[in-house]
Amino acid sequence: MPGQHVLRVRSLYRRILQLHRALPPDLKALGDQYVKDEFRRHKTVGADEARRFMQEWEVYAAVLWQQAKDNRQNSTGKACFGASLPEERLNDFSDEQIGQLQELMQEATKPNRQFSLPDSSKPTC
């Protein structure tokens, strides 16, 4: 059974990195690094946390796939990626997760940042 889990994790990891190819270069670079760090960080978690981790990343992959598909069909040529995070969802986050979100926001909004992201909380459209 552990072998199946490892295959499922690797498959999801590869699928996410492939989906990131549809992102603009700055978002791809930021997203790839974040995914690599998160998957590495969760290598040794317990079964319950691993299950939640996989569920959340599977939802992310599904949303990203749909957004990439929608963007390919969009005749305006303007790509739209991302989603707002409802405040009630933030209440379910642990302190560590809130800290990670803050770090991600700081990285994305540095004045001399490597990545050029809007300062808005809205999806990048």
Residue 119 has a pLDDT of 47
List, as own/partner pairs, every contact residues 13-18 make where C-beta atoms lie below 8 angstroms and the sequence separation is at least 24, other chains included. Answer: 13/39, 15/61, 16/57, 16/60, 16/61, 16/64
- The C-alpha atoms of residue 118 and residue 102 are separated, in whole angstroms, by 15
Write down the pTM of the prediction: 0.76
Question: Among candidates 47, 21, 17, 22, which has minimal Cα distance to 34?
Answer: 17
Residues forming beta bridges with residue 47, ordered by sequence position: none
Confidence of residue 53 (pLDDT cuts 50, 70, 90): very high
Tens digits of residue pLDDT in 63-122 = 999 999 998 887 776 778 888 888 888 888 889 888 988 888 777 666 654 544 444 455
Residue 116 has a pLDDT of 46
Kindly report the average pLDDT of the chain as a whole number: 84
